[in-house]
Amino acid sequence: MRRRGAPIVSEALSPATLVLGGGLLLSTVFGWVARSSHFCVMGAISDAVNMEHWGRMRLWMLALAVAITGTNLLAFFGLIDLGKSLYQRPLLPWLSLLLGGLAFGWGMTLAGGCPNRNLLRLGAGSLRSLVVLVFVAIASYMTLKGLFAQWRVSYLDPMTIDLSAMGLAHASLPDLFARWTGMAQPTALLVVSAAALAGLGTFCFQDAAFRRDLAQIARAALLGLLVVAAWYLSGHIGYGENPDTLETVYFATNSRTLESLSFVAPTAYSLELLLLWTDKSLHPSFGVACVAGVVLGAFAHAIGSKQFRWEGFGSLQDLRNQLTGAMLMGFGGVTAVGCTIGQGLSGLSTLAIGSLIAVAGIVCGCIAAMRWLSR
């Protein structure tokens, strides 16, 4: 709320307002580009495993290469502090990351797509995706603060590796490389980032058909840049002194630290905000704005391309699989600290060790579910 006597202009330009408005804008563009490019991590894995077609995998990897490069350049120049993000904490909950990733990967296969894919479908008129997202939100909230949270905290999260005992300040590949080689951390950051860019770029551009698809290359680059912009928005523009407490804080994020695009826990916070709208202790957050933005971007693209149409469930079995998958995604996404976007783009862009574990679990869970369903 605006303090008595405070100018309206200063409130309109406050860090929290900029983070919310910027998050909505960035995610709207993300929704438009993701839908126009048919970006889908589950689809990329499915194409590669079932048809040996690597087009969408290259789209994902090029977006990741751009995200890694941009994010770590921001960190190198001191514009953001990735060490304060959820991904690089030195206490590594390896079991939560692995099992959460497996559950999420299995769930997104049953549901026919991850939360981001379902947000895109919702924007194009899929009522089925609306139901799936509601159940993702319920399971996410139960894993954050409810029954599933008790199991997670009691049995999974205690299984950790303390990387600080190994001399690592953060759970990241650059820190690990610096420890092994004795190289200065800023130099190690550039070396590892350059190696990731070279490896991913080689994989993407070795295919002649992909090299010729300039529109898809541009879309992939834009998706990666949006992840970078989100880090800058929440980690630099949204970082400052709280005028009420005089503490230096990250404004308008649920995790109270810098965030980039992610769509599991934010669905839970979105549902909570809708259910408890009159609770003055609750406020829109960066994640909530991003959820809304993806739907808006997909809606705009669907209307513009004349592809908007209402869609429901095809059968009872379809309903059963979708809801089971939604619950697994909600539990797995929170437990693994992210989804195919939250870990597969945002997390990996920080070169976090935990993100590698989570994404490996997601990919393995997805492939295992595909094999099981094919039987």
Rg from Cα positions in the chain: 20
180-223 confidence digits (pLDDT tens): 999 999 999 999 999 999 999 999 999 999 999 999 999 999 99
State how far the Cα of 277 lies from the Cα of 269, in Å rounded to an integer: 11
Tell me the average pLDDT across 132-149: 97
Q: State whether residue 204 is helix, strand or coil.
A: helix
| Residue 219 structure tokens | 């879309």
- The residue among 161, 175, 40, 176 whose CA lies nearest residue 91 is 161
Cβ-count burial of 69 within 10 angstroms (0-12 exposed, 13-18 middle, 19+ buried)?
buried
Tell me the average pLDDT across 139-163: 96
pLDDT of residue 243: 82
89: left (phi over 0), alpha (psi -120 to 50) or beta: beta
Quickly count: other Cβ atoms within 10 Å of residue 363's Cβ.
21
Give 145's Cβ-side CA count (13 Å radius): 7
Q: Could you give the C-alpha distances from 335 to 99, 124, 167, 301, in angstroms and in order?
A: 8, 29, 26, 32
Q: Do 314 and 238 touch, CB atoms closer than 8 A? A: no
State how far the Cα of 32 lies from the Cα of 211, in Å rounded to an integer: 22
284: left (phi over 0), alpha (psi -120 to 50) or beta: beta
Confidence of residue 4 (pLDDT cuts 50, 70, 90): very low
pLDDT of residue 312: 87
pLDDT of residue 5: 41
Cβ-count burial of 17 within 10 angstroms (0-12 exposed, 13-18 middle, 19+ buried)?
middle
Confidence of residue 9 (pLDDT cuts 50, 70, 90): very low
| CB-based contacts of 347, cutoff 8 Å, min separation 6 | 87, 337, 338, 354, 355, 358, 359
| Residue 224 structure tokens | 């990666």
Chain-wide mean pLDDT for the chain? 94
Question: Is pLDDT of 8 > 60?
Answer: no
Question: Is pLDDT of 2 > 60?
Answer: no
The percentage of residues in the chain with a pLDDT greater than 70, rounded to a whole number, is: 97
Give me the amino acid identity at 227: V
308-362 confidence digits (pLDDT tens): 999 988 788 889 999 999 999 999 999 999 999 999 999 999 999 999 999 999 9
Confidence of residue 6 (pLDDT cuts 50, 70, 90): very low
pLDDT of residue 12: 60
Between 172-186, 240-254, 262-276, 348-362, the lowest mean confidence (pLDDT) is in 240-254
Fill in the DSSP letter of residue 54: -
| Whole-prediction pTM | 0.94
